[in-house]
Amino acid sequence: MAVVGMGGAFPTCKNLDEFDRKLFSNQSLIREWDLAMQYNKQIRSTVSGFITEDEMDLEAVLAPIVERYPETYIDKLGRIPDGNLSTADLGSIWTMLGAQEAVKMAGWTTKETEAEETGVVVGSGGAGNQILRVAWHYFFQMGKKARIAGAHTVDRSMSYREAANISCLLKTKGVCESITSACATGLGNIGHAYRLIKFGLQDRAIAGGVEGTALETFIGFDGMMILSKGFNPAESSRPFDMDRNGFVCSFGAGIVALEEYEMAKARGANILGVIDSYFNNSDGDGDMFYPSFAGQQRLWKGLMPDKGLRPDVVKMHGTSTPVGDSVELLSVVDTLGEEGFHMAAPKSQFGHMLGGAGAVEFITALLMLKNQKVLPCLNSNTLNPELEVFQKTDHWTGPEKPLAAYRHLVPQFAFEKEINRVACLNYGFGGTNSAMMVSRDY
């Protein structure tokens, strides 16, 4: 399966090229969020990899009914017609822009893009919370008529809004759907699109994930007390480090254009990567939040049934949460051993983009293949020299060395290396796991 185009929205970056440059120069895209800081002690964490409207050349048209409510948006560069903007929340606009970039890079004609053989599979982690908050507040708290929030509450907040807006913009006629699987959403949508093409149901697909900047989303995770706190912004996301205390809630979008390999090859497409395999599963242990070593072992077995496609780099989920990082690192070592590969943790540079995470991080895997450089695990200063608590239990069957024994696999800075294959991992609440292998084209 050929990846022939990509695009999206990335914190502090005007475009994909700037995103590329900043990542491989070891920069952090995380900063203090001025909006979160306005709420003082109501919010514990105030750092995020957020994206402003201005950074995407957009302007919010604020409704008079409530402060800071974007009734619609203006595209200052004229990339998206006003009619399409009126049905979209911020994240949906990002995915439309990303889809335009991906299709342009793919070199698909209008006829190919609009064909029945071209599908759209794009999703986000949840509903349009920013849009729903206003509709609910004015109806339930203020006693206003339902129509006060406008005629587009449904289309701007429905779970399927990103795919719908892309399809309406590009006039695609194939499959159009969204899959939501928590923090595995981005990779899961790409994986589903891969299967549609592999099984001959589509020739091409626009796929990916997104999480649009919204304080309404941020506060849910802050309320769970699982966000990073107490570090300066650039040091707040620290996968595998002993001092990690939570993830950085961030926002972004990643969209890729997929095409049946022989078809892409025959037309001379610029192939950015080749998807070798995709597998997803559930932990099955009944725990909503705690990571499952056994579930991740089964994930690897599904991705590499014969262990013939070994990756040179593993793009880790690496959220910077205390238990999640430990279980993930040990499950990788359990499968691949202690040599011959490195781990990259893109969330260390831009935080956790929730529904957009897997898709944006898949793009970072493509960039590693292009640049022949391994992305770093920023701030992984000290790995635990002692065994994890769960490693000391009777039922533990994994590696019996502490994380510090694998320091050589966890780079703190980007470096050059021959990279032929990258494994991408993403997990989500409810025990959902996704893994994809992507290689260079030869």
DSSP β-ladder status, 2-9 and 31-32? unpaired
Q: How many CB atoms lie within 10 A of CB 294?
A: 14
Name the token pair of 213.
């900047």
pTM (global) more than 0.85: yes
Name the token pair of 196.
């549609």
Helices (H) and strands (E) in the chain, counts: 15, 16
Distance CA 310, CA 420 (A): 9
Along the 442 residues of the chain, how does pLDDT read in single tens digits? 999 999 999 999 999 999 999 999 999 999 999 999 999 899 999 999 999 999 999 999 988 767 778 889 999 999 999 999 999 999 999 999 999 999 999 999 999 999 999 999 999 999 888 888 888 888 888 888 888 778 899 999 999 999 999 999 999 999 999 999 999 999 999 999 999 999 999 999 999 999 999 999 999 999 999 999 999 999 999 999 999 999 999 999 999 999 999 999 999 999 999 999 999 999 999 999 999 999 999 999 999 998 788 999 999 999 999 999 999 999 999 999 999 999 999 999 999 999 999 999 999 999 999 999 999 999 999 999 999 999 999 999 999 999 999 999 999 999 999 999 999 999 999 999 999 999 999 8
Q: How far is CA 200 from CA 114, 136, 186, in A?
A: 18, 43, 22
Q: For the residues of 388-439, what is the DSSP string, one character each?
A: -GGGGSTT--S--S-GGGGGGGS-SS-EE---SEEEEEEEETTTEEEEEEEE
Distance CA 262, CA 71 (A): 45
Element of type H or E holding 2: strand 2-9
Q: How far is CA 27 from CA 12, 18, 65, 82, in A?
A: 11, 11, 40, 35
3-state DSSP call for residue 339? Answer: coil
Are 195 and 278 spatial neighbours (Cβ–Cβ below 8 Å)? yes
Give the model's pLDDT for residue 307: 74
Are 190 and 210 spatial neighbours (Cβ–Cβ below 8 Å)? no
